[in-house]
Amino acid sequence: MHLIESGPYRFLLDCGLHRGPGEDIRRRNRFFSFNPATIDALFLSHAHLDHCGNIPNLIRQGFVGPIFCTHATRDLIAVMLEDSERIQMNRIQMNTAPYSRSRQVGGIKPDTPGETTSSSVKQAIAACVGVDFQSNVQVNPDVQIRFIEAGHILGSAIIVVKLIHVGREFTITFSGDLGRRGLPYLCDPSPLPSADLIICESTYGGRTHDTVEQMSEKMAGFVEQTLDRGGKVLIPAFSLGRTQLVLHYLRNWMKRGIMPRMPIYIDSPLAKKIATIHQQYGSFLVPEDEEVTCEWIDDEEDAMYQSTQRDPCIILASGGMCEGGRIVSHLRTHIDDPRSSIVLVSYQASDSLGAQLLSRVSTVHFQRRRWNKWINVGEIKGFSGHADENDFQWLLADAAQATRHVRLVHGEPKQMTALAKQMRQMGFSDVESPSENQSVLL
């Protein structure tokens, strides 16, 4: 979340939700360092919750302006915010139940600001103004915006903001989350335009992804070994972006004979809703080949039925870090089954269950007990939707000489440092990683 102030105007670039346990996280979500009622408009890059998830709270605290985003992002945040609301309200009910008083977190009540409500989610969706890619939108006489393809997920955009202030024109380019070039599913990201200030993500600074060939070889190995043992292949994946990408590759590799054909079940109600939206924006995606079919699981009873059947299969389930979602039930069933495999295809935070699975320990702890880790654990890193070191070189090169300032965000310190070094070598003169609430004067 970034605040732009220009003369009498104030705008936000994204309004993301911090995820994780603890009162500090809840406090950061609950309180803003500015008055939301003074924000004229919100410019939204895409529909992941770390970019849009705190919009309902912004509205509840006084924001009444428009939310500019692409048409696909508008449709996606409708299901993303509704799902986030459901999860948060379930958590509130658990923490405020009479029998669980000792588990209350910070004494937060259901009507306390910081937790979404139906009315604020509906207001957020109603406030969205759909914008075409590459079209110039005049927000007011002094402010113009343009959305450029970012290639991260469906509808994701680089946002270019042009501001007229005391007779001078200033440009801010906000990367949002940048995608990768050459992945045969989404559109390629566009190069970042030069600007007075570029705000750039740095998630995979200094790192490179596996190639598609390496990914297919690793996945085929896991599937073949598990099929020979008669087990299940569990793949935890985030519902928006990762599930669609992994499913696309699984079907493609099976069709081409790179990996053996097995039944594919997708256990993610949210991903099923997202799939419907993807069908509406087919021109932005590679068409799916229907030769290799898959089956959506509608409820938890059906999920457990498929999970406990003898025949080998692939179960792609919600919960990329295994911290929540439908994957937890499947993992509980198969964690101590040496015939089965779990293939991690998402980033694993250091304190997540996914990180426990990857560590060299014989047991893992989740759902209030310790389990034997006899399942085969694998990891494939190439499914990320974020630009890597090679992508950054291509996406940023043209902007180097004409850009005044760069501020790196959305990354761990190590990755920010690596990308800053790379950008200085490319010719960018002022590259920094700002602290929270730090300002840049143009």
- Residue-wise pLDDT for 34-77, tens only, equals 999 999 999 999 999 999 999 999 999 999 999 999 999 999 99
What are the strands of the beta sheet with 431-432, ordered from one edge?
136-140, 143-149, 157-165, 168-174, 197-201, 405-409, 431-432
Alpha helices, DSSP H, located in 128-240:
212-229
pLDDT given for residue 93 in this prediction: 62
Residues 404-433 have pLDDT tens digits of: 999 999 999 999 999 999 999 999 999 999
Higher pLDDT, 403 or 382: 403
Domain C-terminal end among 344, 363, 379? 379
Find the CATH number of the domain harbouring 349: 3.40.50.10890
Q: Quick one: 39 and 165 in the same domain?
A: yes
Which residue range forms the structural domain that includes residue 80? 2-207+385-432
**139: Cβ contacts below 8 Å, ≥ 6 apart:** 11, 40, 41, 68, 145
Beta bridge partners of 158: 148
β-pairing verdict for 363-366 and 369-372: antiparallel
Residue carrying structure tokens 């409500």: 117
Q: Quick one: 202 and 283 in the same domain?
A: no
Q: Quick one: 236 and 306 in the same domain?
A: yes
Q: Which two tokens stand for residue 324?
A: 């929540």
Q: Which two tokens stand for residue 137?
A: 């939108």
| In a domain? residue 130 | yes
Strands (E), 251-318: 264-267, 295-296, 313-318
| In a domain? residue 337 | yes
pLDDT given for residue 110 in this prediction: 38
Specify the 3-state DSSP secondary structure of 372: strand
Q: What percent of the chain has pLDDT over 70?
A: 93
| In a domain? residue 102 | yes
Domain C-terminal end among 342, 361, 379? 379
Find the CATH number of the domain harbouring 163: 3.60.15.10
| In a domain? residue 437 | no
Q: Quick one: 179 and 270 in the same domain?
A: no
Residue 148 to residues 69, 183, 187, 379, 428: CA-CA distances in angstroms? 11, 18, 11, 32, 22
Q: Quick one: 48 and 71 in the same domain?
A: yes
Question: Could you please report the per-residue DSSP string of 44-89?
Answer: -----HHHHTTHHHHHHTT--S-EEEEHHHHHHHHHHHHHHHHHHH
pTM value? 0.91
Q: Quick one: 202 and 272 in the same domain?
A: no
Residues 249-290 have pLDDT tens digits of: 999 999 999 999 999 999 999 999 999 999 899 877 877 766
Residue carrying structure tokens 């202030």: 165
| In a domain? residue 74 | yes
Confidence class for position 95, pLDDT limits 50, 70, 90: low
Element (H, E) at 389: helix 389-396
Indicate whether 173 pLDDT > 80. yes
DSSP 8-state secondary structure symbol assigned to residue 397: G
**429: Cβ contacts below 8 Å, ≥ 6 apart:** 404
| In a domain? residue 440 | no
Tell me how many domains the chain contains: 2
| In a domain? residue 101 | yes
Q: Quick one: 306 and 277 in the same domain?
A: yes
Q: Quick one: 219 and 357 in the same domain?
A: yes
| In a domain? residue 438 | no
Q: Quick one: 406 and 293 in the same domain?
A: no
Q: Quick one: 102 and 182 in the same domain?
A: yes
Q: Quick one: 236 and 201 in the same domain?
A: no
81-90, 130-139, 181-190 — most confident range:
130-139
Q: What is the mean pLDDT of residues 117-132?
A: 91
Q: Quick one: 157 and 14 in the same domain?
A: yes
